[in-house]
Amino acid sequence: MRRVQQILIAVLTAWAIAAGAGTARAQLGSLLSPGPLARPHASLEGVANCAKCHEQGRRVTAQKCLACHQPIAQRIARKVGVHKDAGGECVLCHAEHAGVNGELRPFDQKAFDHAAVTGFALTGKHVLGAQQCAACHKGRSFVDASPACAACHTDVHKPSLGSNCTTCHSTQAAFTAASTAFDHNTAAFRLNGAHTKVACASCHIGGVFKGVKFASCVNCHKEPHQPSLGSSCTTCHTTDSWRTTNVNHQRTSFPLVGAHTKVACATCHKQSATKVTLKSDTCASCHADVHAGQFKQDCKACHNETAWKGGRFDHATTTFALRAKHAPLTCDACHRPAAASRPERLGTAAPVRAGAAAPPVVDFRGLKTTCVSCHVDVHQGELGTSCETCHSDAAFAVRAYTHKTGGPFFAAQHVALTCEQCHTSLAPARSARTGTAPLAVRFAAAERGCVSCHKDIHLGQFTARCETCHSVETAKFAVTIDHARQTSFALTGKHGAVACRECHKVETGRFPAATGTAVRLKGVGATCVSCHKDVHLGQLVANCESCHTSDTFHLATYAHKSKTVLALMTGAHARASCVDCHKATTGRFPAGTGTAIRFTTGTACVSCHVDQHRGGLGPNCGNCHRP
């Protein structure tokens, strides 16, 4: 067992020595080192170099570090940069022996204030660089970076503009957008109008910023006018836009006058004037021919440049001179868009504007000289085509017309009538063309019968002609009738002075022509009671003429015809008046109950006298008394 122990101890010792010696051969320093040095310090690896950083009993001192890092030492001394506040040992911030990739410079990029520490503020586009240090700090040392633009940026101007880049460039815009920073007003050529929006490279071709010619527009702009209009572009153009409204058209072959002066350029110049020269000799170059080729002559014959409408045209040059009422008419009063049924004759007009519907073609050549070419024949052909017979172009309305025939009919009361009172409209439909109601009346075939104009207010009570009773000679057609001759009831006595209406009453009821209200002229009875009231309430059945006459109703005398009564008419009875015996009595009568003078008086004495004897002497008064 002891032998085994000895062997094991020998093996372990050999392992330890071999391991130690082996590694020592490789690098003794690595055995003692607490870890590999970072890559920048790789040259300090090895036991021989320990003392370059480490100091006996003092660990790692700042003096040792700064002995090598002189630039840092200087910045610490000058109190600038990251180390301006540095104090104490370097190892307090910088750790070593953390491996080849060990971080030597702990750095909080987010918290780092580049402006405060370095004096170079990261603004604008440089802000992104705050997270990409290596974009500017190409080398390992941060202090190598220079604040000069050219230190990082390539001078594409090849020093022609000097070293002060900030004159034109700012960090707020990309390098290629230097125009946002450069005040071109400080240059000899000030930018205004559209020039302010032009990219620098458009004029500064090839990055040439100095010596660029600008005296004339054509130094930068091409001359589009062929032939050239000269070098003074500003006569027409401004710097705001090449498109200009400032062209002096008088210099062109088409001076603008009248309405042309108010037209926008683009209305005629659909394409640039530098590309397309308009033919100004004909109006049709710009204007659409709304007449669809009806006129071969130039538009100026009718139109002028003041306005399309209102052009003067001498209509007398046509077969229809415009006179009187026709003279002030506008053209379109007669010359209207062609009827839809006739487009094949006129064709279609060109649209006035692109995309717009073609306007209707106005028919200037289709009209005839006859009135009906324009006017509606309100007589519907009844009176022929010779309108001039009645109408004139001074006034279409017919003020007066003397009937050629008819004679007395149109005299007296008919003289004052207006035409329309007799010739009334038969067809009140409105004209689709004029919008006015046509005078659709009958003239030639008008009836002369009274009822063709007058209403039969008698509702057919008479079949005879109206003239039998009425005449145009009397006002309002008053009746002139001979009642004795023309009727069966002669108006005698007081009847002659009675108004017609006293007997011919207005009735509502059935009449021969219709049921209605009319004066009852026929069928009025010839008896007295037809008109008069029977005040005797049926006591007297004899004809009224037995007692009364047409001269008066009152009776002066009456001779009783009854022998019984006549026998009593003696003495005082002969002197008594009628009313002494025939008194007004209220009571029952043959025609009904009422008040009337009672005629049917008894012949007994007590019929009139009071029996003073109260019947004591009997009814026969004649025994004692005499009339």
Partner 1 sequence: MSAVPASRPAPSRLAGLVTSGVAWGFVATALITAWVLLGLGGRAYYGTDLAVRAYAPAHRLLRPSGPAGQSFGLVGTVLMVMPFAYMARKRLSGMKGAGTLKHWLELHLFCGIVGPVLVTFHTAFKFNGIIAAAYWSMVTVMLSGFVGRYLFVRIPRSIRGNELTRAELDARAYDLHDQLALTVDSDRLMQEVEAFEATVVPADSARRSLAGQLTGDILFGRRLHAFVGRLEAEGVPPTVRDDIARVTRERVSLLRARFHLERTKELFQLWHVFHLPLVYLLLVIAAAHIALALYMGYVPFRWS
Place of tokens 């926008």: 264
Nearest to 454 by CA among 443, 465, 445: 465
Closest contact distance (angstroms) between CB of 13 and partner 1 is: 7
Rule CB under 8 A: say whether 602 interacts with partner 1.
no
Rule CB under 8 A: say whether 26 interacts with partner 1.
no
Rule CB under 8 A: say whether 49 interacts with partner 1.
no
**Backbone φ/ψ region at 199: left (φ over 0), alpha (ψ -120 to 50), beta:** beta
Size of the site for partner 1 (CB under 8 A): 32
Near partner 1 by CB under 8 A: residue from 56, 250, 330, 607: 56
- How many Å is the maximal CA-CA distance in the chain? 222
b/e per residue 229-256 (b: at least 16 CB within 10 A): beeebeebbeeeeeeeeebeeeeeeeeb
Choose the binding region for partner 1 from 3-11, 163-171, 318-326, 466-474 (rule: CB under 8 A).
Answer: 3-11
Using CA atoms in the order 453, 458, 464, 466, what is the torsion angle rounded to 10 degrees?
-40
Closest contact distance (angstroms) between CB of 17 and partner 1 is: 10
Nearer to partner 1, 21 or 478 (CB): 21
x/- letters, 66..95, toward partner 1 (CB under 8 A) = -----------------------------x
Nearer to partner 1, 106 or 206 (CB): 106
- For residue 627, give the amino acid letter: P
Near partner 1 by CB under 8 A: residue from 103, 332, 467, 551: 103
Closest contact distance (angstroms) between CB of 89 and partner 1 is: 8
Nearer to partner 1, 97 or 613 (CB): 97
Nearer to partner 1, 13 or 241 (CB): 13
**Per-residue CA distances from 24 to 17, 21, 44 (Å):** 10, 5, 17
Distance CA 470, CA 455 (A): 13
Closest contact distance (angstroms) between CB of 86 and partner 1 is: 16
Choose the binding region for partner 1 from 51-59, 271-279, 395-403, 590-598 (rule: CB under 8 A).
Answer: 51-59
Closest contact distance (angstroms) between CB of 19 and partner 1 is: 7
Show the DSSP H helices in 479-546 as ranges: 483-486, 500-503
Near partner 1 by CB under 8 A: residue from 18, 21, 22, 57: 57
Near partner 1 by CB under 8 A: residue from 26, 42, 43, 58: 58
Rule CB under 8 A: say whether 140 interacts with partner 1.
no
Near partner 1 by CB under 8 A: residue from 70, 101, 226, 564: 101
> If DSSP codes are grouped into helix, strand and coil, which group holds residue 609?
coil
Rule CB under 8 A: say whether 4 interacts with partner 1.
yes
Nearer to partner 1, 34 or 328 (CB): 34
Closest contact distance (angstroms) between CB of 38 and partner 1 is: 8
Nearer to partner 1, 13 or 235 (CB): 13
Nearer to partner 1, 30 or 380 (CB): 30
5-24: contacts with partner 1 (CB under 8 A) = 5, 8-9, 12-13, 16, 19-20, 23
Distance CA 74, CA 78 (A): 6
Rule CB under 8 A: say whether 571 interacts with partner 1.
no
Nearer to partner 1, 3 or 312 (CB): 3
Show the DSSP H helices in 350-499 as ranges: 419-422, 483-486
Show the DSSP H helices in 452-507 as ranges: 483-486, 500-503
Give 47-92 as a 3 state SS string: HHHHHHHEECCCEECHHHHHHHCHHHHHHHHHCCCHHHHCCCCHHH
Nearer to partner 1, 59 or 84 (CB): 59
> Quick check: 550 and 492 in contact, CB under 8 A?
yes
Near partner 1 by CB under 8 A: residue from 14, 18, 26, 31: 31
253-272: contacts with partner 1 (CB under 8 A) = none
- For residue 374, give the amino acid letter: C
Choose the binding region for partner 1 from 34-42, 231-239, 273-281, 519-527 (rule: CB under 8 A).
Answer: 34-42
Distance CA 502, CA 526 (A): 14
**Per-residue CA distances from 158 to 151, 178, 438, 442, 620 (Å):** 14, 16, 94, 106, 179
Nearer to partner 1, 111 or 556 (CB): 111
> If DSSP codes are grouped into helix, strand and coil, which group holds residue 515?
strand
Which two three-digit tokens encode residue 329?
């008419």
Nearest to 409 by CA among 424, 398, 422, 391: 422
Strand partners, 59: 55
Which two three-digit tokens encode residue 272?
């640039």
- For the chain, the first-to-last Cα distance in angstroms comes to 216
Closest contact distance (angstroms) between CB of 112 and partner 1 is: 14
Number of other residues whose CB lies within 10 A of the CB of residue 442 = 17
Choose the binding region for partner 1 from 30-38, 192-200, 415-423, 610-618 (rule: CB under 8 A).
Answer: 30-38
Closest contact distance (angstroms) between CB of 103 and partner 1 is: 5
> Quick check: 249 and 255 in contact, CB under 8 A?
yes
Place of tokens 């075939």: 445
Nearer to partner 1, 92 or 591 (CB): 92
- Which residue ranges make up the site for partner 1 (CB under 8 A)? 1, 4-5, 8-9, 12-13, 16, 19-20, 23, 30-36, 54-59, 95, 97-99, 101-103, 106
